[in-house]
Chains A and B, each alone.
Chain A
Amino acid sequence: MSSASATARISLTSLRAHKRRFAGTFAAVLLGVAFLTGTLVMGDTLRTSFDSMFAGATSGTDAVVRSADTITTPGQSQGVRGPVDADLATRVAQVPGVAAAEADIQGPGQLVGADGEPIGGQGPPTLAGNWIKDTRLNPYRLAEGRAPERGGEVVVNRGAAATGGLTIGDSTVLRTPDPVRVTIVGLATFGGADGMAQTTFTGMTRADAEKYLTPQPGEAASIQVRAAPGTGQQELVDALTPVLPKGVEAITGEAATTENTDMISGQFLDLFTTFLLVFSGVALLVATFSIHNTFAIVVAQRTRENALLRALGAARGQVVGAALAEAAVVAVVASAAGLLGGIGVAAGLQALFPAIGFPFPEGELVISALSLGLPLAVGIVVCLGSALLPAVRAGRTAPLAALRETAVDQSGTARGRTVAGLALALIALGTTLAGVLVTPSIWLAGTGAVLALAAFVVLGPAASTAVLRVLTRPLARTRGVPGGLAGRNALRSPRRTAATASALMIGVAVVALFTVFGASLKATMNQTVDRSFAGDVAISAPSFGAGGSGLSPELAGKVAELPEVESAVGLGRGVAEVDGAGRQLTVTDPVALARGLDLGSVRGDLAALGTDGLALSAPEAERRGLALGDRTRLAFTDGTQESFTVRAVYAQPELAGDYVLTREAWAPHRGQDSDSVVAVTFKDGVDTASGEAAVEETAAAYGNPEVQTREEYAQSSAGGIDMMLTLVYAMLALAVLIALLGIANTLTLAVHERTRELGLLRAVGQTRAQLRAMVRWESVLVAAFGTAGGLALGGFLGWVLVQASQGTGDSDFAFAVPPAQLAVVALVGLAAGALAGWRPARRAARLDVLRAIATE
């Protein structure tokens, strides 16, 4: 028998003999790899489906004519593009090589569903446009009913109709944002699907579109052009370009499609995939700790076996090789199973998504070489990497160890490690504080955070001894011998306990980090509303991303006329370029604004802005070195530039933004008007409830936007945070599950190596229930230590993140620690510990007393 095959045979027989020991490792690798594979496969599948959907929908469009000017403000994924003259379509149609050209008029349009609630608006755009008659230029296809012919008739995409419970013949309201009464006469599909992802679309007659969707008739978002047979797309663009006016460009249909798919793939899908990848990374990191721990214990338990091998003449390398070969078998088998699991998860989600109303485009799963190779490689590297150190340690076993008493891992806390950990902690703290307080730098703070994590792991054994001593005392008092023994057992091998707890610690730390950060965001919003919102109620159209249509600009005026109302001011949004960078503008009545919002101290005169003046926030004025009376140039989407005089400077930009313009100044450059919020102040003596009722009645005619008190307004701004947190918790559940498997596995191994002790305890009178309690309490103690460490680390990192965010904005970022939520996290950690101990406890209790005391 060659030495290599001897090594292989030893590891295989040992694997077969100790299948249970590796069950936890197997599960950890499998889950991590499955998560990673599922993410990659789903991302690829979605991307391919969207691409083919867009390609199919817009295949009839050979060129797009549009404004060349676009302004992108920070934080927006899509730039704001100026309009083109709709009549340009007629001129384009006469260019040789053009078969058809149609103006595409677009604007925001949010449908109200049968239940009176608006459809969509939580992310993807809600659009309205003219129903293009040339079926090959129109990306939407009529699936049922007919095209709109008379005013008030519309076609909606089938997905939106289904969401809102609308069918052909129904009459509803379209917020453009002015409420328009419409009747549905047709349902449409996009590229074979019920819609363009979650985007809603309402197609109306061209006359209606011009009337409701653009500030003035004759403006279009773009001109869609179809080539005559025999004319190529580039040829068409070359023919069109000379006849186009200045500031208008033509691009090929293919380029336009690519832009659109890039927008969805590049923005939404990449974000989605990155988000999932981060969490599979966390899961795999946790898995690494669990796996390393398992191998370390197994190697320690096998000291005698390995020593015997060495005594019989096995070389050090052969012992290391056998241990690594064992890890490799587990790695390959578990990773392969994880790959299958991940593909299964992706297939399951593809089937599940449509059922929960998310149109997962149909089509085959796309499984690329990367989504197979990467998870497989990661799984194997994680598993082998975790086993490396224990394997090397196995190789160092002295042949004499075979003669000693049963060798158990009795590693204490190395002083050197503690000192190194403390030094690391100090460096981490210093780096973080420097990055947060001295010279704000996200990189320094991030490095500090990673170092802090490392310090926690290195300090684990020392910390576990200290913390568990404290925790054991009350446990021994209240739970008697089982409690006391549980504590002593957890204290036996600080390194093992710490390694087991580390996995859970990382999971809990990430949970705590997001919990603290989320609570801080909410507190910040509360603080902002508290400080800057001077009104009694706010009317708002809650929306995220590009969704929602905002509020009709008429609404503020109508509400202001109510007898209960002292003042009502609407805040519109505009964009302009300042010094080459896009900026959000607040378009409003500046005098009324000062009543609805608290702007802080105001220098200059808000009433004197006129059409050539603007008001500036103090931080922005400082950044740009502008003072009262200075002039600054703004470039608008229509290609014009204008110079404005700074006539007022206000201190608080939280709700008002950095630039305030009057409606008159904005009017020449505007797109479609809409307000994002209306701040309403009641007259003295009007109580909030009756005032709110009056405002609600008026608002009902405008598509029923939400009327909120100050508190509700602050909370609704925070609604998105809760949604994000829920998602984050769901993603982290996997990491916590892997950590629990790790605890359960360590306990199973511990029970195995303490067989004789357990037998003795049973012989001298420990009941099964007491024995189960003992193992479970040990599990709870380890979990408690991990949870406590996680909460401390997560809280610290949350503080770092908040402070780092503080440096990036003007407004004060509040730091909040939510005690209730963190208490829930702690309880979940403890309960999880009890759960993890359940199976090992049962196994321990089933031990046969005689065999236990007879075990060598």
Chain B
Amino acid sequence: MNTAHTAARVVDAVKVYGSGDTEVRALDGVTVGFPAGRFTAIMGPSGSGKSTLMHCAAGLDALTSGSAAIGGTELSSLDDRRLTVLRRDRVGFVFQAFNLLPTLTVAENITLPLDLAGARADAEWIDALVDVVGLRDRLHHRPSELSGGQQQRVAVARAFASRPDVVFADEPTGNLDSRSGAEVLGLLARAVRRMDRTVVMVTHDPVAAAHADEVVFLADGRLVDRMPEPTAERVLDRMKALDGPRAEADIPEHHTQGVPS
């Protein structure tokens, strides 16, 4: 895999929480690249390290050992300020909930990373984004006046506003009903295919993962499989196999927050 075509990647990534008896190896030597212009889903059972992988790859958390890079930039060499600026300019985020600042309007939330940078927003691009997410008539509303699905669509627009190298989405549909969830996933997929963006999504939902171009599977902090052109059934089967006897209890989990997960 060529670096020029890899939007983000981690090599020999190890992340250890705690020490001694309470030591937990959330990532145990993961090497994975997320190709540019593709929609990749990270799946795995609870505690497999998928959220940790995303946090470390996105520069929200630091690896214990190994390296992480966005584009060609090695993250471990950056101090907090540079890391923040990198997130602001080259990474987009969609979280499970609480994606928007309640004091800002929809329009202001969308351009927040650009405004933080003091950069002038590309009006055409933002305009196009607003149309894609279908929120033109809500631009001057506050987040509290929007439904959950609408709020996540604003978050998607915000994530793409600065044309980042890569957008990380952490259970973006975890709090939504299936129709709103499908809408948000459709948006992410369309951004990748029509606008040539890159998306990395952490999810536990096989249906959500099926929207991706490829699924990578994590278990016990290790990369265990990759699946191109996934379908919901195949993903579900793979997950069942991964989980073994525990699978039935774990698959419909609704909450993968918390550290480590």
Contacts and interface: CB of A to CB of B under 8 A. Distances in A.
B87 A764 contact: yes
A760 B95 contact: yes
A856 B118 CA distance: 31
B259 interface: yes
B118 A485 contact: no
Contacts of B85: 765, 767
Interface string A841-856: 0000000011101101
A767 B88 CA distance: 9
Interface residues of A, number: 26
Contacts, number: 72
Contact of B98 (A489, A492, A756, A764): A756
Contact of B116 (A481, A768, A850, A854): A481
Nearest 5 A-B pairs (CB), nearest first?
A: A765-B88, A488-B103, A481-B115, A767-B84, A765-B113
Given A485-B103, A488-B103, A850-B55, A766 B95 contact: no
Contacts of A853: 60, 95, 98
A764 B158 contact: yes
B98 A765 contact: no
B81 interface: yes
Contacts of B98: 756-757, 760, 853
Contacts of A363: none
Interface string A762-781: 11111111100000000000
B160 interface: no
A850 B88 contact: no
Contact of A854 (B80, B100, B257): B257
Contacts of A850: 55, 60-61, 259
Contact of A763 (B93, B104, B115, B259): B93
B102 interface: yes
B61 A480 contact: no
Contact of A489 (B100, B103, B158, B257): B103
A210 to B, nearest CB: 84
Nearest to B168: A763
Contacts of A765: 84-85, 87-89, 113, 116-117
B62 to A, nearest CB: 10
Contacts of B116: 480-481, 761, 764-767, 770
Given A481-B116, A765-B113, A768-B81, A760 B87 contact: no
B195 interface: no
Interface in A467-505: 480-481, 485, 488-489, 491-492
B82 to A, nearest CB: 9
Contacts of B61: 850
Interface in B61-109: 61, 80-81, 84-85, 87-89, 93, 95, 98-104
B104 A480 contact: no
Interface of A is mostly: helix
19 contacts: A480-B118, A481-B115, A485-B101, A488-B104, A489-B103, A491-B103, A756-B98, A760-B100, A765-B85, A765-B88, A765-B89, A765-B116, A765-B117, A767-B81, A768-B84, A850-B55, A850-B60, A853-B98, A854-B259
Interface of B: 55, 60-61, 80-81, 84-85, 87-89, 93, 95, 98-104, 112-113, 115-118, 158, 257-259
A851 B257 CA distance: 11
A421 B36 CA distance: 61
A761 B103 CA distance: 12
A287 to B, nearest CB: 30
A760 B97 CA distance: 10
Interface of A: 480-481, 485, 488-489, 491-492, 756-757, 760-770, 849-851, 853-854, 856
B151 to A, nearest CB: 12
Nearest to B92: A764
Contacts of A761: 101, 112, 116
Nearest to B82: A767
A403 to B, nearest CB: 16
A770 B113 CA distance: 12
Given A756-B98, A760-B95, A763-B87, 11 more contacts: A480-B116, A761-B112, A764-B112, A764-B113, A765-B85, A766-B88, A767-B81, A767-B84, A768-B80, A851-B259, A853-B95
Nearest to B112: A764
A488 B143 CA distance: 14
Nearest to B88: A765
A757 B102 contact: yes
Given A760-B98, A760-B99, A764-B112, A769 B81 contact: yes
Contacts of B118: 480
A856 B88 CA distance: 24
A763 B55 CA distance: 10
Contacts of B104: 485, 488
Among A481, A757, A764, A767, the one with the most B-chain Cβ atoms within 10 Å of its Cβ is A764
A854 B93 contact: no
A301 to B, nearest CB: 16
A757 B84 contact: no
Nearest to B61: A850
B117 to A, nearest CB: 7
A601 to B, nearest CB: 68
Contacts of B101: 485, 757, 760-761
A480 B93 CA distance: 22
B100 to A, nearest CB: 8
B87 A492 contact: no
Contacts of B84: 762, 765-768
Given A763-B60, A763-B93, A492 B103 contact: yes
Nearest to B161: A764
Nearest to A408: B102
A775 to B, nearest CB: 14
Contacts of A762: 84
Contacts of B113: 764-765
Contacts of A492: 103
Contacts of A849: 60
Contacts of B80: 767-768
Nearest to A492: B103
A767 B98 CA distance: 19
A623 to B, nearest CB: 64
Contacts of B95: 760, 763, 853
B259 to A, nearest CB: 7
Among A489, A849, A856, the one with the most B-chain Cβ atoms within 10 Å of its Cβ is A849
